[in-house]
Structure 1
Amino acid sequence: MELVRFFFPHAPVAVGALEKVALALAGRPGARLAAHLSIPTSANSLLRIVRKLPDKRGEAAPRVLGIDDFALEKGHVYGTIILDMETGERVEVLPDRTAETLTAWLRAHPGAEIVCRDRASAYAEAVRTACPDAIQAADRFHLWKNLCEAVEKCVATHRSCLAEPTEDAPADATAAEQEVPGRPEGMRVIRRRERHAAVHALYDKGVPIQAITVALGLDCKTVRRYAHAATPEDATLGTGSRRYGQVHGYSPYLHRRWNEGCTDAARLHAEITELGFTGSRRTVRRHLQEIRASGKPAPDKPKTLTVRTATWLITSHPDNLDECSTLKLKKLLSRCPELDAVAACVRSFAAMMTDRRGSDLADWLTNAEDTQMKPLQSLARGLRQDFKAVTAGLTLEWSSGKVEGNVNRVKRIKRDGYGRAGFDLLRLQILLAG
C-alpha cells in the first residue's frame, strides 16, 4: 500500500478501487488486474485490505430468512449462509451446519417470521427451538428434486417395462421374459446383493452410517447409497459410467456392423473410436454382451428406454416434449399401469406446486401411498414428517432460489482464494462482495 500512496496523491480513491478488486477477485487474480490498472500491489496486500473492512453484524434478523449449506471441504466440512430474502442481502455466514450453531445465532438475532430452508432436519430443529412462532417454508426446488429421485427409483423397479415388445413376442411380454433363460449372474450383481444385505443387517438395527462404514470397510457414500436403497437394484442409480452411457449413441452403427458379420469387440471399438467415441474397449464388449448371449441378430435400432430417459419423460412438462418423445411416453405408460399411476402423481404434484395449492398436499400424499410404490410411499412419509413446512413451501411465494444463487457465488469465491483463505477471510468476501 506504500506504493499506492507514493504514486497516487489521491490514495483513498486508489484504496477504494483496490477494495472492489480484492472483493471481486481475491488475491492473485486481483493483483494481476491491479497491475493492468496501473495500481501495483501484491496478493497479500489485497487480502489485508479485505480483512480490515468493517464487518456487517446486525442485532435483529430480517423478517424473511433464507438458510442453506455450502461445502467448505466437500464431503467433510460444510458452512451455512443466511440471506435476507426480501432484499437478497447476505446476512451471516456460519462455520458449520449444526443445529446448535444456528440456534445460537437465531437466539442472538430475534425477529425472523418466515424461514426458507431445504429439508435438512438440523435447520428445522434449530428454527423450532430458537423461534417456534416462525413459519418454515420448504424449498420447492428440493421438493421437486426429491420427487424426481423417487420417480427414478420407481422406474428402476419396473425397468422390464422399458423395452418395447418385439415382433415375435406377445404384446404383453416383458423384457425379462424375452431374455435368455439360465443366463448366469455377474460378479457385480452378486457383490451388490451381498453389500446391500450386509449394510441393511446393521442399518435396520439402528446402527449409524459412520459405524457401518468402519465395520464393513466401505466408503461412507457407498454405505449411505445402499442404506437408502430399498433393493440392491436401487443402489445402482446414479452410479453408471458416463462412457457407458456414451456408447448408446453408437448403437445403430454397432448393431449394423454386428449384423454384417463383424462381432469382434476390439475391431468395433477401433471403428467407433475413429467416429469420436472416447470410451474403452471393455465398454464396447459389455455393450454387445447381451446380443452375443442371445444368439439373435442385433436390432436395427435399439428400442429400450434407459431408466433416466424414462424418468425424464415422466417428469418433463408436456409442452417440452416433442412428438416422438410424447409417443414414447404414451407407449410406456400404456404397457405399465404402475408407472402410469406414478406419472399421474407427478402431474398432480406439478399442478399443486405451480398453482400454489399447498392445501391439496394431504390428498396428494394419500394418492401417492395408494400407488403401492415403495419409493413414493417413502417420499410421502418424509413429507408428512415435515408437513407444515412443505405446505408453506407449496403455498407461499417465498422459496430458496436466491440462496441457491449465492451458494454458486461462494463456489467461485472459494476457487479464487484456494489455499490462502481461512474461514474469516472467506466469510468477509461472501458478505461484502457486491
Structure 2
Amino acid sequence: MLWTAFSNLKSVAVEEITVDDEAVAVAARAVSRQAPCPGCGCTSSRIHGRYHRRLADLAVAGRKVVIDLLVRRFLCGTPGCGRRTFVEQVEGLTERFARRAPVLRRTLERLALALAGREPVDPTSANSLLRLLGKLPDKKLGTVPRVLGVDDFAFKKGHVYGTILMDVETGERVDVLPDRTADTLIAWLRDHPGVEIVCRASAYAEAVRTVCPDATQVADRFHLWKNLCEAVEKCVGEHRKCPAEPAEDTTADTAVVKAGTAADDVLEPMEGLRAIKRRERHAAAHALYDKGVQIEVIAKTLGLDRKTVRRCAHAATPDDASRGTGSRRYGQIHAYSPYLYRRWNEGCTDAARLHAEIVELGYCDSKRTVRRHLQQIRASGKPAPDKPKELTVRKATWLIAAHPDKIDENNALKRKQLLARCPELAAVADCVRAFAQMMTERCGSDLGSWLTRAEHTGLKQLRSLARGLRQDFDAVAAGLTLEWSSGKVEGNVNRVKRIKRDGYGRVGFDLIRRQILLVD
C-alpha cells in the first residue's frame, strides 16, 4: 500500500510517515553512494555535506503531502570542471531548484492549461500556474507538413488577429503566429521549406506565392459556398418585392377591421442622421472605388473599417450597403411585428408592456428595440399597418441555396412560386445548383464556364463574386477538385474561441499559443 501511494519514493529510504487531519509528512533520505556531476558528467563519491529539502507531492486521501528529504552534496574532483560541489538528484522525485515532485508539477501544468490562468480551487495560486506555463518547453516541429493549412483567428475581433498553422494530413497543430500579416507568414515559410500544398484564405495568397511559387494553393470550399450564399442573399434583397406572395381576398368584415390600414396610410420611412451618414459614406467610398483605388487605401483615407468600405463599394445603393445578417432589417423584432401591430391597433401602446408580452413568446432583446421599432407608428398618429404575407429575405435565400432533399413539400411549393414570380432569382437558383453540383462532384474544370454563366445573368452581385473568383482562379479550381480543404483548420479556429472564453480576456499571446499547441 505504501508504494502504491508513494511510487516515487522507491529509490529513497523512508524513515517516518506522520499523518494528521490536513497533511501527510514523509521523512526520507537518499541512499545512493555516488552521483554524476551535472557539469562534466563524471561520477563522484566524495561527500561534502548534507541538507534537507522540502518537496510537495500529489495529495493522498484529500491530504496534501510534504516530503522532508535528506540529500547530500558531493565534491567534483575532475580537473577543469567548473563545479566544485553539486547536489545529488533522485530520479522521479527531485529536480534542480524545484520544490515540487515531477508528477505534481506535470499535474499542475495540465491544470494550468485547462484553467487558462483562472484561480484554481486548491491553495496553488493563479500566478504560480502561469509561471509553470511560462517554463513549458516550446513545441518543436519535426517534419515540415506536406499539406499546410493556414487561417486567421481573432484575439480581439475586429482589432487584433493571429494565424494558426496546421498539418492538414495529420490534423496536428504546427504553430501559431502573432499576427496575420504576409511578412510573418513569409518568414515562417522561409524557415520551414518543403510545403507542397497550402489550404489558405485569400489574404495569404501573395505570401505563399512569394516563398513557395511551385506550391499548389487550395481555396476552402466552405468559404466558397459561404460567399455564394452571401451573394444570393444580396440578390434576393435587390429583388425583395418578389418574395411577397399574392394577397388573399378579404371579406367585407375583414375590410371593416382593416379600414384604417389602407395603402395611402402605409408609413413612409423616416429620414434620420444615420441614414444621411450612410448615404454620404456610400457615395464617398464609391467615388474612390470607381477610380480604381484599393479597398485598404479607401479605408485609411475615410477612416473606416475595410469590411465597411468593401460593403459600400460592392453595394449599388446605400440601402444595399446596410442590408445584411447583422442589420436592423433582419433583427428578431420583425418576427414579432404582426403581434405588436395587432396589439397596437387594439389600443395597447405602452412599449414596456408590449415588451413584457413578447418576452413571454420568446423575444430576448431590449425594451429600447421595441420602443424604437414602434417609434414611426407613434410619430405618424396612424394605425399600425398590416404586415404583408411574404417570405423574408433570409427564408427566400435558404429556399434557393438549400439542398433539395432538405426542403419539404410546403417549402418546395414556395420555392417554385418564388422562382416563377422572379426570372432573375430563377437564374440565381440555376447558378447555385450548378455550383453545388460542381463542388460535390469535384468538377473544378467546369469553373470557367460557371463564371461565364454567372456573369451573363446580369446581376451585379454574381458578377462581383465571379470577378473575385477569377482573381484567385487556380486556387478556387484546386479547391473544387482536390480532396484537401481547410476544414480541420476551421475546427481549430472554433477551438480557439473556446480557449478565449475560458480565459475571460486574461490570456496573452504566449499563454494562448501554448494552449492551442499543447492542450488536447
Q: Do they superpose with TM above 0.5?
A: yes
Whether 1:336 and 2:417 are equivalent positions in the alignment is no
Whether 1:14 and 2:104 are equivalent positions in the alignment is yes
C-alpha distance in structure 2 between counterparts of 1:142 and 1:219, whole Å: 21
Shift of the alpha carbon at 1:208?
5.6
What is the SS of the residue equivalent to 1:4? Answer: strand
Note if contact 1:252-1:302 (Cα within 8 Å) is conserved in structure 2.
no
What is the SS of the residue equivalent to 1:21? Answer: helix
C-alpha distance in structure 1 between counterparts of 2:328 and 2:266, whole Å: 27
Q: Which amino acid aligns with 2:346?
A: C
Note if contact 1:67-1:81 (Cα within 8 Å) is conserved in structure 2.
yes
Shift of the alpha carbon at 1:55?
1.6
What is the SS of the residue equivalent to 1:159? Answer: coil
Note if contact 2:265-2:385 (Cα within 8 Å) is conserved in structure 1.
no
Note if contact 2:54-2:66 (Cα within 8 Å) is conserved in structure 1.
no
> Once structures 1 and 2 are overlaid, which stretch shifts more, 84-93 or 3-12?
3-12
What is the SS of the residue equivalent to 2:500? Answer: helix
C-alpha distance in structure 1 between counterparts of 2:305 and 2:193, whole Å: 41
Alignment-derived partner of residue 95 in structure 1: 178
Higher strand share: 2
Alignment-derived partner of residue 43 in structure 1: 126
C-alpha distance in structure 1 between counterparts of 2:430 and 2:488, whole Å: 31
Provide TM-score, normalisation by structure 1: 0.83
Which one of 457, 460, 465 corresponds to residue 374 of structure 1? 460
Alignment-derived partner of residue 205 in structure 1: 291
Note if contact 2:377-2:383 (Cα within 8 Å) is conserved in structure 1.
no
Which one of 186, 197, 200 corresponds to residue 271 of structure 2? 186
Q: Name structure 2 gaps, 5 residues minimum.
A: 1-52, 58-63, 68-92, 94-100, 251-262
Alignment-derived partner of residue 3 in structure 2: none
> Once structures 1 and 2 are overlaid, which stretch shifts more, 13-22 or 60-69?
13-22
Q: Which amino acid aligns with 1:205?
A: K
C-alpha distance in structure 2 between counterparts of 1:317 and 1:288, whole Å: 40
Distance 1:233 1:361, change over 3 A: same
Distance 1:418 1:206, change over 3 A: farther
Alignment-derived partner of residue 345 in structure 1: 431
Alignment-derived partner of residue 175 in structure 1: none
Which one of 135, 141, 144 corresponds to residue 216 of structure 2? 135
State how many pairs are aligned: 412
Q: Which amino acid aligns with 1:65?
A: L
Distance 1:296 1:426, change over 3 A: closer
Note if contact 1:59-1:108 (Cα within 8 Å) is conserved in structure 2.
no
Alignment-derived partner of residue 160 in structure 1: 241
C-alpha distance in structure 2 between counterparts of 1:354 and 1:433, whole Å: 34
Question: Sequence identity, in percent?
Answer: 65
C-alpha distance in structure 2 between counterparts of 1:182 and 1:298, whole Å: 8
C-alpha distance in structure 1 between counterparts of 2:477 and 2:239, whole Å: 30
Q: Name structure 1 gaps, 5 residues minimum.
A: 170-177
Shift of the alpha carbon at 1:214?
6.4
Shift of the alpha carbon at 1:41?
2.0
Shift of the alpha carbon at 1:427?
1.8
Residues 19-68 of structure 1 deviation map (CA, whole Å, 9 limit, x = unaligned): 22222222225x33xx2xxxx42222222222222222336520111000
Whether 1:4 and 2:90 are equivalent positions in the alignment is no
Note if contact 1:196-1:232 (Cα within 8 Å) is conserved in structure 2.
yes
Whether 1:273 and 2:325 are equivalent positions in the alignment is no
Q: Which amino acid aligns with 1:129?
A: T
Alignment-derived partner of residue 72 in structure 1: 155
Shift of the alpha carbon at 1:207?
4.8
Higher helix share: 1
What is the SS of the residue equivalent to 2:469? Answer: helix
C-alpha distance in structure 2 between counterparts of 1:13 and 1:425, whole Å: 22
C-alpha distance in structure 1 between counterparts of 2:266 and 2:339, whole Å: 28
Alignment-derived partner of residue 401 in structure 1: 487
Distance 1:168 1:201, change over 3 A: farther
Alignment-derived partner of residue 327 in structure 2: 240
Alignment-derived partner of residue 249 in structure 1: 335
Whether 1:107 and 2:193 are equivalent positions in the alignment is no
Q: Which amino acid aligns with 1:410?
A: V
Distance 1:211 1:12, change over 3 A: same
Provide TM-score, normalisation by structure 2: 0.71
Alignment-derived partner of residue 319 in structure 1: 405
